[in-house]
Chains A and B, each alone.
Chain A
Amino acid sequence: EDQVTQSPEALRLQEGESSSLNCSYTVSGLRGLFWYRQDPGKGPEFLFTLYSAGEEKEKERLKATLTKKESFLHITAPKPEDSATYLCAVPLSWGKLQFGAGTQVVVTP
């Protein structure tokens, strides 16, 4: 059965304190992995797609990496505006997505 597990469930950071979020998956025939950001009361917003092991993508203070078993989202020198829930998802057939439960990140000044 396809499973996506994210850790930790919640993360509280001081502004400037770098950290990493983990997304591990058991999916047969992986065809990529997505990272989304979700703000309270909003829908998920696309951040990155990673297609193969070893691939890295960056956007401002965020960097996503992918191995054969897991993906990491590194947040470097976070700011309060980086506070959000970060979701990872793997694509199944027909564009369906299998989501992890998310990591809620709070960055305090």
Chain B
Amino acid sequence: NAGVTQTPKFRILKIGQSMTLQCTQDMNHNYMYWYRQDPGMGLKLIYYSVGAGITDKGEVPNGYNVSRSTTEDFPLRLELAAPSQTSVYFCASTSDRGTRVNTEAFFGQGTRLTVV
């Protein structure tokens, strides 16, 4: 059981380039999330998904896109990278247990992205 796996771990992008951050989980969780973490700040939600084919914006979605074609995978796409997107990105997943949705989230190891 690998949990939540993110690739790559590190990446340097030039301004205007694009890339996809990969996230896969093997726990059969329906709910998946992308957060970004900046120094001294809490994690901020970018996008989330409650199941295959269903995605929605979080707190800071501008400059990003997502798709969810399978339960396991939830890639995050950066188009036209900007220095403001320099951050550490975390993917997370959690199970939905009926009305009790407050089960703990499992996080990947993160992708450290620098845009220069």
Contact = CB atoms under 8 A, between A and B. Distances in A.
Given A96-B58, A99-B43, A100-B42, A43 B108 contact: yes
A104 to B, nearest CB: 9
Given A41-B110, A43-B110, A44-B90, A95 B42 contact: no
A32 B107 contact: no
Contacts, number: 68
Size band of the interface chain A makes with B: 20 to 34
Size band of the interface chain B makes with A: 20 to 34
Contact of B107 (A31, A45, A98): A45
B58 A31 contact: no
Contact of B45 (A32, A43, A46, A96): A96
Contact of B110 (A9, A32, A42): A42
Contact of B104 (A9, A49, A96): A49
Contacts of A96: 33, 45, 48, 58
B40 interface: yes
B94 A95 contact: yes
A57 B43 CA distance: 24
Interface of B: 4, 31, 33, 35, 40-45, 48, 50, 56, 58, 90, 92, 94, 96, 101-110
Interface of A: 4, 9, 31-32, 34, 41-46, 49, 51, 87, 89, 91, 94-102
Given A45-B107, A94-B101, A95-B101, 17 more contacts: A9-B40, A42-B110, A44-B90, A44-B107, A46-B104, A46-B106, A89-B42, A89-B43, A94-B48, A95-B33, A96-B33, A97-B33, A97-B105, A98-B42, A99-B42, A100-B42, A101-B41
